Each structure stands twice: as C-alpha cells, then as structure tokens.
Structure 1
C-alpha cells in the first residue's frame, strides 16, 4: 500500500475539487490526526504513574499479608481453645 502524505493528498484533491477546498480538507485531516494523537498521549501512563501504582500495590500487599497472618493466628488460638475445653471437660 502506498503511503499517502498530506502534500500528496492535497495535490490529488486540488486536481479533483479545487485548491481552496483541498486546502480546507487537508487542514481538517491534519487537525483531526493531531487531536487524536493528543488524546491518546493524555491517556498514557508515565513512568512516575506506574512507579506510584507499584508502591500502592506493594503497600496493600503488605497490609493484606498482616491481616492474613492475624486471621491465621486467631484461628489457631480458637482451635487450641476448643481442644483445651474438650480435654478439660473430661
């Protein structure tokens, strides 16, 4: 497929629809392309964004590990208490 530049597009359109209309149309296409690129660039995450997100995930992971360990220790104590209650009952 042949690569079409704005200049080439202008030349082809100028022959078919006239110079003024071709200039307006190529200007419109150029503006739309630049707006589309600017919109996509705004959506991209920067290295700082990714680094901050990694830190948040790391902090949340550590917090979740603490809660999991606390829950595990609580369950072990509860099970030991149940066994002690059964053994002391007899």
Structure 2
C-alpha cells in the first residue's frame, strides 16, 4: 500500500476502522487491554461468558442470535447497512 493511500485512510477517521473486522486475536487483545478478563467484558455487555469464549476461539459461525451479537460487539463481524 502506498503512503498516500495510508494517509487518505487515516484522514477518513474512525469510520474506516469500524468497517474493518478484527481477528479473534486482535479482539482478545483489545478486551484484555480494556478489561481485566474476557468474563468481565462478557458480563458487562450482557453476554454469556462461555459463548463469548467460544466466539473468540472461532468455534461458532456467528450467523445469528447471541453469537452474532457478540461478534459484532467485538468487531469480528461488520453488519451491512
């Protein structure tokens, strides 16, 4: 990617970053930086702790229901508008 392209993306701001899904590892790191544990993040956001761990481990497809809600909250999936 050219330097001009990177600068143009940075100018767009956080909206561009919100459109790019994270990997499971990036989401896990983000949670652990902001919270003390994955369980505390799940409880704080009203999600099942076990299901949150399964989503982060890649053991759920996250097509519907609470697993999809978790994936969207973690920015693993981006819903089309």
Tell me if TM exceeds 0.5. Answer: no
- Structure of higher CA gyration radius: 1
Comparing both chains, which one has the higher relative contact order based on Cα–Cα distances under 8 Å and sequence gaps of 6 or more?
2
Structure richer in helix, relative to its length: 1
